[in-house]
Amino acid sequence: MAFVDQAQVELKAGKGGDGIVSFRHEKFVAMGGPFGGDGGHGGSIILKVDEGLRTLMDFRYNRHFKAQSGGNGGTKGMTGASADDRVIKVPQGTIVTDADTGEVLGDLVRPDQTLLVARGGRGGRGNIRFATPANPAPELSENGEPGQTRQIKLELRVLADVGLVGFPSAGKSTLLSVVSNAKPKIAAYHFTTIDPNIGMVRLGDNRDFVMADLPGLIEGASQGVGLGFQFLRHVERTRVILHLVDMSGIEGQDPYVQYKKILTELKEYDPTILERPQIVVATKMDMPDSEELFAKFQEQVQADSGLAKTPEIVSISAVTHDGVDALLRKTADLLDQAPVPTAYQQEEETTEEKIYQYKKQTPVISVDWDDELSCWLISGPEVEKLAAMTNMQREATIMRFARQLRHMGVDDKLREAGAEDGDDVRINNTNFVFEYSE
C-alpha cells in the first residue's frame, strides 16, 4: 500500500428534518389544537483514531463524505428520527485543519480519540412548538437546519518515540530490520526507502519503544530537494533522534561533512528539533577504513557539534550486531528522561470558575446589486440559514420571515443601499425572491 500523508476532503453533515403543520382531529375532541412534531437531528461527521491505520491512503480516491439527514416530524406531535453520525477512521497522528481558514481543528494522537468536524443540523420545529395564548392554532413550522459543510486538510505525522535520520544509505533501514520485526526494503542504492517505516523495539528489561526509519535527507531537503521535504514533518513527533552517519567511506564522502549537512537541514526546518535528545550513531563499522574515519569524526564532533551540548557518539555494525544492544539501552535511557512533545500532551483540566457574559452579536449581512439577475442580493450566514429554515409554502411562515428580516436590519440596509419600491430582492443561495416595499 502506498504511503499517503496528506489529503483534502469535503464534508457535508446531514440536514435536520422538517417540522410539520398538523392539527389534532379526533372524535369528540373539539378544537384539538396543533399537533405537528419536530424534525430529527441530522447526522454529524466525526473523525476517530484507528490504531490499525498507518496511512491516509483511503482518502486518495474518496474525497467526499456525507452524513444522512434527519427524518421529518410526524402528526400527533411525533419527532422525526435523528440520523446516525458518520464516523470516519483516521490514523494516529493526524492533524486536522480547516482548508478555508487555516484553523487547526484538532491533533488526533490518542487511541480511539474522536473529533467532531462537521455538525449536523437541528430538526425544524413543528407547529405544536409555536402555540401561544394569543395564537393557539398556529400554522407555523420550520424546515430543518442545514448541516455544516466543510473542506478540511488531513496531515499525518508519524508517531514514533525514536526517529532515524541521516543521508541515504547510512544504514537506517538495516538497523530497523535488525532491532525490530519491521521489513523495510534494503538495497545498495540511494533512496531505497521512499516511505517511513515503523517498528516496535523490545528490550530484555521489558522496556519498549517505537522506532521510525525516515526517508534519507540530502542537502537542501528543507527547501524541497529530494524526498526529505515531504517527510521532515515526521521528525517533529519523535522524542529522541538517532543521527546515523556512514563510516565506510566507500563513496569518498567525509562523515563529518554529511553530519553537519543534516544538522543544517533540521535546523532550517525547525530549530527546536536540535534541542531534543540525540545520539550520533556511527554505522558500518565492519568496513576496512571505518576505524580511522571514526576516530577523526569523533574529534571533529567534539570540537564543534553545532548543538547546545556535544551529543553522545556510539559506533555500531548492523551486519555483525556489534554495539547494537548498547545503543538500544542508551536510547531507552534517554526516552525515560525525554520530555513529552507538545503534540502528545493533553490539555489539563482546570477547576477555576469561569464567568460568561452575554454579548449581543450583530448579524453579518451584505446587500449588493446583481446586474446579471437584476435584483438586490442579500448574503450572510445568519440570513441564509434563516431562509433555508423557513417553510415558503405557508403564508404565516413567510410573514414571520419578513418580520425576522426587519428585526435583523435587512430593511435598513436595503434602504441605505438605494433600494426603491418594487425592486426585486433575492436571498443568496436560494430561489426565494420578494419585492421591496417601504
132 carries a ligand binding annotation: no
Q: What angle do CA 315, 318, 322 make, to 5 degrees?
A: 55
Nearest alpha carbon to residue 365 among 405, 423, 306: 405
285 carries a ligand binding annotation: yes
Grid-cell match 526494503, residue found: 185
CB 246: neighbour CB atoms within 10 A?
23
Q: Three cell numbers at 325?
A: 544492544
- Asked if residues 427 and 173 have their Cβ atoms less than 8 Å apart, the reply is no
Question: 3-state SS string over 237-294?
Answer: CCCEEEEEEECCCCCCCCHHHHHHHHHHHHHHHCHHHHHCCEEEEEECCCCCCHHHHH
167 carries a ligand binding annotation: yes
170 carries a ligand binding annotation: yes
238 carries a ligand binding annotation: no
131 carries a ligand binding annotation: no
Q: Which helix (H) or strand (E) holds 175?
A: helix 172-179
The DSSP annotation for 72-136 comes to PP-STTPPPPPPPPEEEEE-TTEEEEETTT--EEEEE-STT-EEEEEPPPPPPPPGGGS--SS-S
172 carries a ligand binding annotation: yes
Distance CA 11, CA 166 (A): 39
432 carries a ligand binding annotation: no
Q: Three cell numbers at 120?
A: 449536523
263 carries a ligand binding annotation: no
37 carries a ligand binding annotation: no
171 carries a ligand binding annotation: yes
Q: Three cell numbers at 42?
A: 441530522
277 carries a ligand binding annotation: no
| 223 phi/psi in degrees, rounded to 5 | -105, 5
Grid-cell match 547510512, residue found: 170
213 carries a ligand binding annotation: yes
216 carries a ligand binding annotation: yes
318 carries a ligand binding annotation: yes
Question: What contacts 112, CB < 8 A, 6 or more positions away?
Answer: 48, 49
Binding-site residue numbers are 166-173, 191-195, 213-216, 283-286, 317-319
Binding-site residue numbers for GTP are 166-173, 191-195, 213-216, 283-286, 317-319
Binding-site residue numbers for Mg(2+) are 173, 193
